[in-house]
Amino acid sequence: MDVSGLLQCFAGTLDQSAKVRSQAENQLKQISFTPGFLGATLDIISAEQTPENVRLSASLYFKNKCVNGWTGKYTGKNELLDYVVDQDEKPVIKELLIRTLVICVKLSPGSTRVLKNALSMIIYEEYSQGKWDDLLTQSIKLLSGPDTDEAFVGLLCLNGIFRTYRWKENDSRQSLEILILQYFPDLLKYGETQLLAQGSNLNDPKVGEMLLLLIKIYKFVTYLDLPFTLQRQESFIPWANFFVAVIQLSLPVEFMTLYDNESRAKNPWVKCKKWSYAILYRLYQRYASDSLTRKFEYEEFKSLYRDQFLPQLLRLLFQQIEQWGAGDLWLSDESFYYILCFIEQTIVQKVTWQLVQPHYETLLEHVIFPLLCPSDEKLEIFESDPQEYIHRNLELWDENYSPDLAAVSVLTTAVTKHGKTTLQPTVQFVITILQANLNSNTDLSSAVKIESAFRIFSSIIDRLMTKDSPYLNELETFLNSFVFPFFESPFGFLRTRVCEICSKLGTVDFQKTTLVDTIYKGIMFSMNDTTGCLPVQLMAALALQAFIHIPEFQTALSSSVFPTMQRLLDISNEFESDTISGVMQDFVEQFADQLQPFGVDLMNTLVQQFLRLVIELHETSNVNPDSLLDENDIPDESDKQMAALGILSTMISILLSFENSPEMVRNLEQSFYPAAEFILKYEIEDFYHECCEFVENSTFLLRNISPISWKVLELIGESNRKDSSMVSFYLDDCIYALNNYLLYGTEELKKNEFYSKILYEIYDKASRDEDKALGDFTTVFDLSQKIVLSLNQQLPQEYGQRIISDAVQSIVTNQGELKNNVVFGVTTFNVVVSGLVYFPRLTLEILQTFQCLEIFFKTWLEFYAPNVKRVFDIKISMLALLSLMNEIPKSTLDALFGGPILPKLGKILMELVSRFPQAQRLLQEKRMGFSTGSFSLDDLEDWKNDSNTLKFVDGEPLDAEEDFEDLEEDSLSGSLLDAIDIYASIKIFFINLRNTDELKSTTLTSEMTPDEQETLRKILM
């Protein structure tokens, strides 16, 4: 390998000239497949003379190739990552990587950060499979030497080694116990003497990183299960005291004065504190607490932790909180978060609640209240980045460690678990704060305190609204006196909070009707906020959703439906979340009639919003992985995705509101097409379900396939033909739309092979996936049987041959599963039964070829046919029997079955005939239920008494064996057999038979009971 040429290649990828960069990237791609490439890359990274930007670029390239190519299992679409590391090169890479890391620790912290991700992955793959046995010895040797940089890499390796035990329980990692006994005492001593060193290394960030690696070693081995050796007092107490010593470290004065909060939190010593709090919390919460869902029974450890360690730790935590409140101690958000989580866990436990109860009011006043007062930084975010403010202060989740959310959790847990002693002082505290600040409504310091009081009130409001709450009768007075006046506050964050409180009041039965009017006016005033304050508008929209079911609200809104919907659309365009989409969906469903004149405009607006989001998502998904330092740099677009899904759901709701207007449905299809086109053209798989659901509903409402829907099918077909296509993988999401093409587009499919070929190709690709489970093949065969029934005589022979053969092959392969997996069995058999209806001779030949005649007919006639309950299954079986008896000569049938079979077939036919009216009646009742939207208490009782429901509630495994009740029948769309009058078919068959073959007719009825013969007589009348 030409190392100097490779160096120039990496340098070229950073050149300012786009042409040079492109040439270098293409050359690098070609060279990367040359043996020795990764080793040469490490030589470049470790060379002192290598420029830092080139070293970092090479490190990124090496990391991506290793992370995605080490196992050879990369399944993504990025060809840059489609790479497999040569097995013979792996030992060399492992040795070189450790040496390179030692050099990078000295020269390049950035490259170290990148390469340690590759090291961690390689250790996980190699060490856990016994392919790197000398790594542990090598790591200890590096750690034991005098060179700090080598010791750093030694800890990196040990961290990776013990990380491999993170997701294993004690029973499956017994070798870990030996490693802990052998190495943990020395690791603890090294941490205490060389790293912690009574705080003498606090100004050395590298030592802080090393201490963090050591702390995480303990975290990894205790995360899922607690090793037995670490449960012993002689092991637990020294390690616990070590974490307490880390917690008590006093940060240097210059550290506190030179850095802001965000920079401080990134300091490795501060991270050490964070993980020390986190570990002590997790040990308590997971292994030393009482819980109904507790998995571990470590009673001795629980007693050790609760009796000997917890009281002193709790005393320390309260002491630190007191110092924080006095301004004498700085705590990072992460550390404070875990402190509050720990306190919350002590509140949950009855035994330890006694230790916390005397401090509750102090916690409320001096911890929870100040934490919920918005800081200057939060108020600045409210003005400058309202979306971020909404995420961090109004939604119920935050991916960061937010002390204010932890404080809310402490509050709600205390009020929920110990309401008798905590609810009254909490309510009184809120009233006191509001009374003290109510008249200073233009003062920011008072407004901040009111916001905190409101947030406390909002967090406990569900406890005040219960039927047995002593505060329920006073709630209206409280709201009218203290809350609703702030609809007109000059502070946007207070108007926002009032609307947020209102969003929780939708179930309150207000005695004073004037309050509903007050709420309505306040919500509408806030939604149309003239300052354009997004948090106010969003929370007003959510409050509107809470009251939209109330008649007084509906009446008041009726005169301004479209402007309100337009306002919701504007808010949706500004805020990327599914929350506002949910409001729009409810609004559309509630005011469908009033919105109909604006349906197309609404759809066009929503499509444009959706396209903006989905284009951004698509661009993000194509980000160059070599430009990222690690996976945490990948943009989180979950908000955009959820918002886009919500918009699609709203589009579907708009479509369904026009069920009685076919022309409007066609217009809405036209409007929706650009969204469907983008989803299918660019294979945005996350939206396949909603895209196909729209098509399913539009074709159902029209009971026809419009030109636009045929164009969508063309897009599906184009996508399916691509090698990378996932259409067959997501067949469950597409199946109902495809069913409608087959049901409502039958005539066009028969005339136009272009479209029928698309459907067959989808089936063909899906059926070739051998990794599918039986449930997945149920969907595949559901599609194939409908292809047969839809095209019937116009089905090309090669299609029919393949479809029926696949089903028969599956029956042979899975014959042992046919009675336990009824849904799969009946669906697969129905493919063959469909073949018997339209191609009886071909189907029998295929059954013979696969030696499946006996298996098929015995299972079908003796197990499935006598037990199926769906109209479809009974009807198709009757049609198949008629086809067999009509198309196949008696002598051929007798030969196939090994004796006279017509009497038995005639009797089975009449048994099916006798069950058919009941099946029709049940289907009709189901249709009536859908049309009226009725749901009875009997339905609820059936659900409650269902054996699987009871087992689910009790945490027991569900029944694996299916029965015929699991076969669901679509009572709305109907089936491809609906147009066939089965009684007329039977009548024609028997009349023709009597006229042409009296003997065969007599033979057919010879085993029928008198009742069955009477039923047949009535049919023939």
Judge whether 108 lies within some domain.
no
Assign 3-class secondary structure to 223-245.
Answer: CCCCCHHHHCHHHHHHHHHHHHH
What per-residue confidence (pLDDT) applies to 411?
96
Residue numbers of the domain that contains 527: 349-547
CA 437 to each of CA 401, 451, 453, 495, 682: distance values in angstroms, whole numbers, following the listed order: 30, 11, 10, 16, 56
List, as one string, the DSSP characters of 862-885: IIITTT--SHHHHHHHHHHHHHHH
What per-residue confidence (pLDDT) applies to 50?
92
Dihedral, 439, 445, 448, 454 alpha carbons, nearest 10: -30
What per-residue confidence (pLDDT) applies to 402?
87
* Crossing angle (nearest 10°) for helices 333-348 and 310-325: 130
Over residues 124-175, the pLDDT tens digits come to: 999 988 999 899 999 999 999 899 999 999 999 999 999 999 999 999 999 9
HSE on the CB side for 827, CA within 13 Å?
Answer: 21
Which of 547, 567, 583 is at the close of a domain? 547
Judge whether 711 lies within some domain.
no
Residues 501-525, mean pLDDT to the nearest whole number: 91
pTM for the model stands at: 0.75
End-to-end CA distance of the chain: give it in Å, rounded. 91
Nearest-angstrom CA–CA distance, 572 and 580: 6
With cut-offs at 50, 70 and 90, classify the pLDDT of residue 73: low
With cut-offs at 50, 70 and 90, classify the pLDDT of residue 717: very high
What per-residue confidence (pLDDT) applies to 397?
53
pLDDT at 642 over 60: yes
Task: Copy the structure tokens of residue 476.
Answer: 């209206």
Which of 496, 525, 547 is at the close of a domain? 547
Residues 424-450, mean pLDDT to the nearest whole number: 92
Nearest-angstrom CA–CA distance, 285 and 301: 12
HSE on the CB side for 48, CA within 13 Å?
Answer: 1
- Give the burial class of 157: count Cβ atoms within 10 A of its Cβ; 0-12 exposed, 13-18 middle, 19 or more buried: buried
Judge whether 712 lies within some domain.
no
Judge whether 553 lies within some domain.
no
What per-residue confidence (pLDDT) applies to 306?
93
With cut-offs at 50, 70 and 90, classify the pLDDT of residue 957: very low
Helix, strand, coil content of the chain in percent (nearest 5): 75, 0, 25
Question: What percentage of the chain carries pLDDT values higher than 90?
Answer: 67
What per-residue confidence (pLDDT) applies to 952?
44
∠ Cα 104 109 115 (to 5°) = 65
Classify 577 as helix, strand or coil. Answer: coil
CA 499 to each of CA 80, 369, 533, 544, 548: distance values in angstroms, whole numbers, following the listed order: 50, 20, 13, 9, 14
Consecutive H or E run containing 599: helix 599-621
8 A C-beta contact, residue 719 and residue 680: yes
8 A C-beta contact, residue 736 and residue 692: yes
Nearest-angstrom CA–CA distance, 139 and 161: 9
Nearest-angstrom CA–CA distance, 161 and 262: 31
Classify 294 as helix, strand or coil. Answer: coil
Mean pLDDT of the chain: 89
Over residues 348-370, the pLDDT tens digits come to: 988 899 999 999 999 999 999 99
Task: Copy the structure tokens of residue 146.
Answer: 């005098």
Give phi and psi for 811, each to the nearest 5.
-65, -45
Per-residue DSSP letter, 591: T
Residue with tokens 């030589």: 43
Nearest-angstrom CA–CA distance, 122 and 94: 8
Judge whether 408 lies within some domain.
yes
8 A C-beta contact, residue 852 and residue 808: yes
What per-residue confidence (pLDDT) applies to 75?
52
With cut-offs at 50, 70 and 90, classify the pLDDT of residue 303: very high
Spell out the residues 6+ positions from residue 635 whose beta carbon is closer than 8 angstroms to its own: 620, 623
Over residues 682-708, the pLDDT tens digits come to: 999 999 999 999 999 999 999 999 999
Task: Copy the structure tokens of residue 72.
Answer: 């050879």
What per-residue confidence (pLDDT) applies to 473?
84
What per-residue confidence (pLDDT) applies to 81?
57
What per-residue confidence (pLDDT) applies to 931?
53
What per-residue confidence (pLDDT) applies to 83?
73
Judge whether 73 lies within some domain.
no
Per-residue DSSP letter, 957: P
Residues 958-967, mean pLDDT to the nearest whole number: 72
8 A C-beta contact, residue 208 and residue 272: yes
**Overall domain count for the chain:** 2
8 A C-beta contact, residue 976 and residue 746: yes
With cut-offs at 50, 70 and 90, classify the pLDDT of residue 509: confident
Over residues 534-593, the pLDDT tens digits come to: 999 999 999 999 999 999 889 999 889 989 988 988 888 888 777 887 888 888 888 888
The candidate with the shortest Cα–Cα distance to 760, out of 791, 715, 805, is 791
Judge whether 755 lies within some domain.
no
Return the minimum-mean-pLDDT range out of 75-84, 255-264, 924-933.
75-84
Nearest-angstrom CA–CA distance, 136 and 160: 10
Which of 498, 515, 547 is at the close of a domain? 547
8 A C-beta contact, residue 427 and residue 471: yes
Classify 342 as helix, strand or coil. Answer: helix
Amino acid present at 559: S
Task: Copy the structure tokens of residue 348.
Answer: 């949950």
Return the minimum-mean-pLDDT range out of 385-399, 518-532, 555-569.
385-399
pLDDT at 1013 over 70: yes
How many other CB atoms are there within 10 angstroms of residue 212's CB atom?
Answer: 20
CA 703 to each of CA 255, 366, 713, 714, 744: distance values in angstroms, whole numbers, following the listed order: 72, 65, 16, 19, 6
Radius of gyration of the chain, Cα coordinates, nearest whole angstrom: 35
Q: What sections of 37-173 are H helices per DSSP? A: 37-46, 52-69, 90-107, 109-126, 135-144, 148-163
pLDDT at 630 over 70: no
List, as one string, the DSSP characters of 841-859: HHHHHHHHHTT-HHHHHHH
Nearest-angstrom CA–CA distance, 151 and 140: 8
Return the minimum-mean-pLDDT range out of 70-74, 206-210, 562-566.
70-74
Judge whether 1002 lies within some domain.
yes
Question: What percentage of the chain carries pLDDT values higher than 70?
Answer: 93
Nearest-angstrom CA–CA distance, 211 and 808: 64
Per-residue DSSP letter, 286: I
Per-residue DSSP letter, 302: H
Nearest-angstrom CA–CA distance, 362 and 325: 11
